[in-house]
């Protein structure tokens, strides 16, 4: 099938813009700017649908907040009749150093409540995910404050250089498949 659902996990609202937990939204916003496609507010999310070189893409920023992302993901998979193997979920990851990228086809939620909810709603841990490392530089018991805090000036600067690669990963996944994408980008 030539139809894909690319989901960026994040929280809606200006107060969450530019926070570590919203890296999924940031990556999709950057990709849409590059593709010159605007998001539209639809049921359970902000969505953009378009074709790119023969492939149909649905990019989704769930409006259900991070911890309830599964409801939106399931709705759009069903609405657009997209098979699970054509789903890619983009999220932050506290367990990876800042800027580290990990692409996987299955696995645990790694303590990420959004991924946990997606796994519960879809009833599987077998779906494609791109995890972006935000580091774990926070005091014990301050995880929530850390993921909801803004990027540092240095991190913002590094993100500017990383975003083209993250957009490239999305395109590569669509045209070359998940295994080739893991082989090419997980080593970086």
Q: 88: Cβ–Cβ under 8 A, 6 or more apart, which residues?
A: 4, 5, 6, 7, 128, 129, 130, 170, 173, 178
In angstroms, how far is the first alpha carbon of the chain from the final one? 29
Give 181's contacts (C-beta < 8 A, 6+ positions apart): 103, 169, 172, 173
Distance CA 37, CA 48 (A): 7
Q: How far apart are CA 35 and CA 20, in angstroms?
A: 24
Distances from the Cα of 115 to the Cα of 35, 53, 88, 110, 130, angstroms: 27, 30, 12, 8, 11
Supply the residues annotated as catalytic.
Answer: 21
> What is the rounded distance in angstroms from the CA atom of residue 184 to the CA atom of residue 188?
8
Q: Which residue has the tokens 């692409």?
A: 103
């Amino acid at each position: 099938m030539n139809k894909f659902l690319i989901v960026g996990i994040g929280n809606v609202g200006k107060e969450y813009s530019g926070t570590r937990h919203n890296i999924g939204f940031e990556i999709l916003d950057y990709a849409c700017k590059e593709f010159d496609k605007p998001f539209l507010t639809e049921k359970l999310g902000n969505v953009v649908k378009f074709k790119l070189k023969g492939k149909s893409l649905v990019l989704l920023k769930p409006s259900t907040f991070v911890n309830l992302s599964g409801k939106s993901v399931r709705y759009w998979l069903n609405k657009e009749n997209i098979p699970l193997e054509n789903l890619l979920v983009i999220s932050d990851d506290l367990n990876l150093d800042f800027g580290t990228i990990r692409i996987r086809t299955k696995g645990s939620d790694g303590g990420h409540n959004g991924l946990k909810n997606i796994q519960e709603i879809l009833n599987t841990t077998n779906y494609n995910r791109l995890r972006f490392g935000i580091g774990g530089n926070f005091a014990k018991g301050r995880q929530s404050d850390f993921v909801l805090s803004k990027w540092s000036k240095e991190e913002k600067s590094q993100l500017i250089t990383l975003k083209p690669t993250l957009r490239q990963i999305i395109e590569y996944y669509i045209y070359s498949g998940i295994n080739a994408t893991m082989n090419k980008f997980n080593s970086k």
